Every structure is written in C-alpha cells, then in structure tokens.
C-alpha cells in the first residue's frame, strides 16, 4: 500500500493549471498520475475526452447487486500567481509542521487522495469487498466545469451509481467534521445605460438631459430596501425558509458575530431582519453590485457628462429559486424602473442552480429519498463520530458549485460532501496548504464509510 503523503507530493508536482495553456504538460502529468494510481488499485481507467480537458473515470464495478458509490474530484488547480508571495515553490510540495504546502494540496488533490487511500486500504484488507466504486475526476473545475454537463450526458453508461461522495468543501476547525448540505446558486448580468451619442461638456450641455451615471445610481438604489432586502417583486417568492434543525446545526458550529465583524473590518452588519449574519449567508438570496463604470475615473476634475454607464450585478440564489425565474424578475424590474432619456441594454452572463440535499430522518427529508443516499449519510455520521469524537455538523454554504445541480439533473444523483479543507488552507491564494492531521482523520473516516456502505448492502 502506498504512503498517501508521498503520493500527494508526486501529485502536487504535476502543475495542472487548467486556465493557462502553458501548463499543458502539468495537465497531462496529472492525468497520467491518476491513471497509473487507479490502475495500480486494479481499476479500469478511461480517459474521457471533452472539448478541453479530459475526465478520468476509474471503475471497479463487479456486481449489480452491490451498492455503487461515485467519488468526485478535480485534478486541475488555480494558477499559482502571484509567485513572489509564496514562501515555498508552489509545485514543489514542502512539509512544515503539521501542514503540506503547495498549489492544489487542499483544492483538491489532498482531499481526492484521502478517498483514494481509503479505497486502497479497504481493498488491501478485503479484496472482494462487495462495493462498486467509480472515481470521476475532472480537469475543468477551476474554470467553471464548462464541459462537465455534456460529459455527464454522453457518459451516463459509465456513471450508473447510487450517489456521489466527495470532499471539495470545507470545515471550520481540525476538530469538527462538517458535512455540506447545500450551496447557493447564481445569476450574473450586466446593465449598460446610454444617453447622448458621445461624452459632453457639462457646462455647455449640463441640465438638459438625463446623465447616464445618475440614471444608473437611481436604478441601482431602487433594488434594495433600507433594511437590506432585495426590492424586486417576486424575488423571494420561491425561497424556502430554513427548518429549525438547520438553524440549530448552525448554532452548534459556535460561530461568533464579534469575530466575524472583526474579520470583515466593518462597523456594523447589514443583514435582513430575522436572520443573523451566519444564517443570511446560507439561507437567503442576495443581489450584489460587483462593479460600476462610467465617466471620468482619473485624478482631479473633468467636467464631463458621460455617454455611457454600466453596472455588473450578481445574485446568489437559495432553494427553490431558479436562475431563470430570478433573472426574469430582475430584468422586468430594471426595465420598468429605468429612468427616461437613456437606453438600457442588459447582458445575461453565467448562472448556477442552487443545491440542497437533506440528510435522512429530518423534518424536511424528502419522502422519496434514495435509500442508498440515506445509507451513505448514516455511514458518514457513524464513522465521523467514531473518528472525530463527536457527530458531524450539517451546514449549507454561501458559495456556488454549479456541477452539483448538473449531477442531479443529468444523473439524478445527490452528493454526500465530507468537508476536509480549513479556512487557513489558503485555497486559490499563495501558500496553499493541507493539514496532515485532517488528512489522516479523513482517510480513517472515509475507509470506515466505505466499509459501512459495503456492510449495508444494496439499499
Ligand atoms: Zn476545488
């Protein structure tokens, strides 16, 4: 059996940056690394091409009567820039104290190797374990998984599992396991207002026309109420209130408002009524302005009336909002409220559907929940409690991972997400690292989860 830390070093040395064609060798290196790793474990490996980076599918599928777990991961990493802020070379993994440093150690090479190691240990102990296992490792997660949905559609025959099991999500401390049970969706758009056909002298022409910047400010200011809610008819219509158990789980995490306020460096929270900040991130949708442009941005004064002004807007969505629905509400409100005298152009950008998965035996567990999915949650609860010394906490997160909704839509499968990275792991930033203690506990937990799944049999 291999040493997981040595394997992780070898894996991290493959500089698999999906965004930059310069790193082509690293991408191929990571694909080859995974191919031989899975072959050594006795898996049948397919390197399935997509329009850009292939997906590695490794299967150990013996008997239809066994449960079938699909383990998701991604082999691509973020670019290492800015290089001068790294204390060690990003693609030369280095152990310091209880951490291993390097790009991709936590996102997502370490967490994937946790599961691969667990599978290896399980098979070493019991080569005939009655469990079908498929690894599905994509190479475009860091660039939005653009080809993942079409991959899923074209390869359903390889992906006939019962549920997804994965670790591309976080925990709050090395002592507490977190299971992620939801992520917000997303709608992005840009609005552009055009007034006069060119920029104008504000002395010669000021006072006779609607300034596009003023129109933009009035329009954008109309999109929230003073108490912090989104002021768009229909925006909240489909939002499902969190169940009491969800608020109780969040409370168990012991997050402190004062710490968070200090971390943000703000003088006051601006959170809609009825929700504390930690709840608002997880249970409420938002509309945020991400950028305004228009007029003179340089030093000093320029007496200009700009011809154009624009704003970039993104919304985070929660169940059961849909990107289509929310986009329609926003476009309708903006179109109706746009001041006279300017023309409005709306450009629709990317979107993601919100995702939620409810563990078994809760007030809102779907009646038709797949028994295999329920088994996996129970296996994780048991293994997590044994290894971490207390039960996992089940939390939704504020971010968006669009591929979860794709997995649900195309394969009809839900995901059990065991968190493994910490806030201080510096994902996407210089000096990314992975906590070796968490890695060890993760391997032990995952092996027990897989053992419990095999023991439970086909649900
Ligand atoms: Zn990731």
What confidence tens digit (pLDDT) does each residue in 329-381 have?
999 999 999 999 999 999 999 899 999 999 999 999 999 999 999 999 999 99
Do 115 and 19 lie in one domain? The reply is yes
Q: What is the largest CA-CA distance in the chain?
A: 85
Q: Does some domain include residue 59?
A: yes
108 C-alpha to center of ligand 1: Å? 5
Q: Does some domain include residue 280?
A: no
Q: Does some domain include residue 385?
A: yes
57 C-alpha to center of ligand 1: Å? 18
Q: Does some domain include residue 259?
A: no
CATH assignment of the domain containing 346: 3.30.70.360
308 C-alpha to center of ligand 1: Å? 38
398 CB contacts (<8 Å, ≥6 apart)?
183, 184, 281, 282, 316
Do 54 and 174 lie in one domain? The reply is yes
Identify the domain boundary among 316, 351, 386: 351
Give how many domains the chain has, as a whole number: 2
Q: Does some domain include residue 264?
A: no
CATH assignment of the domain containing 35: 3.40.630.10
93 C-alpha to center of ligand 1: Å? 18
What confidence tens digit (pLDDT) does each residue in 35-61 have?
999 999 999 999 999 999 999 999 999
Do 230 and 345 lie in one domain? The reply is yes
400 C-alpha to center of ligand 1: Å? 11
CA distances to 138, 292, 320, 337 from 217, rounded to whole Å, are: 42, 9, 30, 12
Average pLDDT, the chain: 96
What confidence tens digit (pLDDT) does each residue in 105-130 have?
999 999 999 999 999 999 999 999 99
Q: Does some domain include residue 391?
A: yes
CA distances to 181, 183, 293, 409 from 169, rounded to whole Å, are: 10, 10, 34, 21
Extract the tokens encoding 289: 């302005």
Q: Does some domain include residue 58?
A: yes
Stretch (H or E) spanning 165 = strand 163-166
Q: Does some domain include residue 113?
A: yes
Do 360 and 344 lie in one domain? The reply is no
Do 315 and 450 lie in one domain? The reply is no
Do 302 and 434 lie in one domain? The reply is no
299 C-alpha to center of ligand 1: Å? 40
Do 223 and 82 lie in one domain? The reply is no
pLDDT at 62: 87
Q: Which domain holds residue 222?
A: 193-239+285-351
């Amino acid at each position: 059996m291999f040493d997981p830390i040595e394997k992780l070093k070898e894996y991290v040395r493959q500089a698999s940056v999906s965004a930059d064609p310069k790193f082509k060798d690293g991408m191929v290196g990571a694909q080859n690394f995974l191919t031989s790793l899975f072959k050594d474990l006795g898996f049948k490996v397919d390197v399935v091409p997509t329009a850009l980076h292939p997906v590695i599918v490794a299967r150990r599928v013996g008997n239809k009567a066994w449960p079938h777990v699909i383990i998701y991961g991604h082999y691509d990493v973020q670019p290492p820039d800015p290089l001068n802020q790294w204390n060690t070379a990003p693609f030369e993994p280095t152990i310091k104290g209880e951490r291993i440093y390097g790009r991709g150690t936590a996102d997502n090479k370490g967490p994937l190797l946790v599961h691969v190691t667990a599978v290896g240990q399980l098979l070493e102990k019991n080569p005939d374990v009655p469990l079908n296992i498929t690894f599905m490792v994509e190479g475009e997660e860091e660039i939005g998984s653009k080809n993942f949905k079409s991959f899923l559609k074209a390869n359903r025959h390889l992906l006939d599992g019962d549920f997804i099991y994965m670790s591309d999500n976080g925990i709050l401390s090395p002592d507490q396991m977190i299971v992620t049970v939801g992520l917000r969706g997303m709608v992005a758009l840009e609005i552009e207002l055009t007034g006069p056909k060119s920029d104008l002298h504000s002395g010669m022409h000021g006072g006779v026309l609607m300034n596009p910047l003023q129109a933009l400010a009035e329009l954008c200011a109309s999109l929230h109420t003073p108490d912090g809610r989104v002021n768009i008819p229909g925006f909240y219509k489909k939002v499902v209130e969190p169940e009491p158990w969800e608020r109780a789980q969040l409370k168990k995490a012991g997050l402190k408002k004062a710490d968070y306020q200090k971390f943000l460096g703000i003088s006051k929270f601006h959170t809609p009524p009825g929700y504390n900040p930690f709840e608002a991130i997880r249970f409420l949708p938002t509309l945020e302005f991400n950028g305004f442009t228009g007029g003179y941005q340089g030093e000093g004064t320029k007496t200009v009336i700009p011809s154009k002004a624009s704003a970039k807007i993104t919304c985070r969505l929660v169940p059961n909002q849909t990107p289509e629905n929310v986009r329609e509400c926003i476009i309708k409100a903006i179109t109706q409220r746009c001041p006279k005298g300017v023309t409005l152009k709306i450009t629709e950008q990317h979107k993601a559907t919100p995702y939620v998965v409810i563990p078994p035996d809760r007030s809102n567990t779907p009646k038709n929940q797949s028994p295999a999915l329920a088994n996996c949650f129970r296996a994780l609860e048991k293994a997590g409690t044994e290894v971490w010394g207390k039960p996992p906490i089940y939390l939704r997160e504020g971010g968006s991972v669009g591929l979860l909704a794709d997995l649900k839509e195309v394969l009809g499968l839900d995901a059990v997400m065991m968190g493994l990275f910490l806030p201080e792991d510096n994902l996407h930033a210089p000096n990314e690292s992975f906590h070796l203690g968490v890695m060890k506990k993760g391997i032990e937990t995952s092996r027990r989860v897989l053992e419990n799944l095999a023991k439970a049999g086909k649900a």
